[in-house]
Amino acid sequence: MISPTASPDFSSLLSSIDAKDFLQRLNKLQSQKTNLNDPSSNVETDATLKKLSLQWQYLASNYLIHSSKGFIEPIKEGKVTQNTLTGIISQDELSFEDIEQALTDWLIELFNHLFISKQVILVRSTGEPEYFPAQDNQPARIEFAHGFFASALHECSHFFVAGKRRRQLPDFGYWYAADGRSAAQQQAFERVEIKPQAIECLLTLACGRPFQVSQDNLYADFDTSSSTFAQDVYQQAQTYITKPDTLPSDAKTLLQALLALCALS
């Protein structure tokens, strides 16, 4: 049991062994579905997923790759092979911003490929995040904040938690009070954020990135030290790992892909 005042170590949730076991259980659940032979979720048979696997391996190893900025586009277009990568010689290392942008483009392509039948697309926004339901034969749009990778995972998680009815509503029917919320508003915010942030946590760890909860209330004028939000998110993530059947179906789909392409590639 985690102490209410302790800060949980989210990185301990998914070791490489845990990730492998988690993926196996997700695969088993997938095998029980009627769409078992759906090629868009099979890394072994889907050409796009194979390409994305290659792209991820080299983008995630950006600290070891030295190349010119022009090297990003061939990776994003799937035109880079192991032989061409090892043959590239340059004095310059890709900047953090270049890598983050390419990884975000990678995530957008993966999401839009996996959920093409869901009539929804993941879109980079220059402003704040917002969800627009499908209308006039146009797919629903999940717009994430300022093009940030972490924001993309967060907004995807909200999409996964939302049911059919809320996916038909702007911003899933959520109310939003800006930073500086009252204690009561903050408690309401945290209650609805536990499951989305637990899913975001697992998606983030599957990508090999650190996760931390967001209470999104930097300017609170009340004592937040007694909040159990971080522990609640941690425990919910643990529950999802031990009982993956409790995950929303679409969350299982993306987690399965990220574990296969990123954590275990």
Residues 199-249 have pLDDT tens digits of 999 999 999 899 999 876 655 556 666 789 999 999 999 999 999 999 999
CA pair distance 252, 55, nearest whole angstrom: 22
8-9-15 Cα angle (round to 5): 140
What is the reported pLDDT for 207? 92
What is the reported pLDDT for 89? 32
CA pair distance 237, 242, nearest whole angstrom: 9
CA pair distance 23, 264, nearest whole angstrom: 9
What is the reported pLDDT for 16? 86
Of 108, 135, 102, 137, nearest in space to 123 by CA? 108
Are 60 and 208 in contact by the 8 Å Cβ rule? The answer is: yes
What is the reported pLDDT for 95? 76
Report mean pLDDT in 10-residue bins for the chain, 265 residues: 66 90 92 58 82 89 46 50 41 70 94 96 94 96 95 98 96 77 79 95 94 74 74 97 96 96 77
What is the reported pLDDT for 196? 97
What is the reported pLDDT for 96? 75
**Residue ranges covered by each domain of the chain:** 6-35+175-259, 38-114, 117-172
Run of H or E including 123: strand 120-124
CA pair distance 115, 248, nearest whole angstrom: 14
The tokens of 167 are what?
Answer: 């996916």
CA atoms within 13 A on the CB side of 20: 5
What is the reported pLDDT for 185? 79
Distance of CA 254 to the CA centre of its chain: 8
Query: Within a 10 A sphere around the Cβ of 126, how many other Cβ atoms?
Result: 8
Tokens 């909040």 belong to residue: 227
CA pair distance 110, 260, nearest whole angstrom: 12
- Provide φ and ψ at 132, rounded to 5°: -115, 120
pTM for the complete prediction?
Answer: 0.84
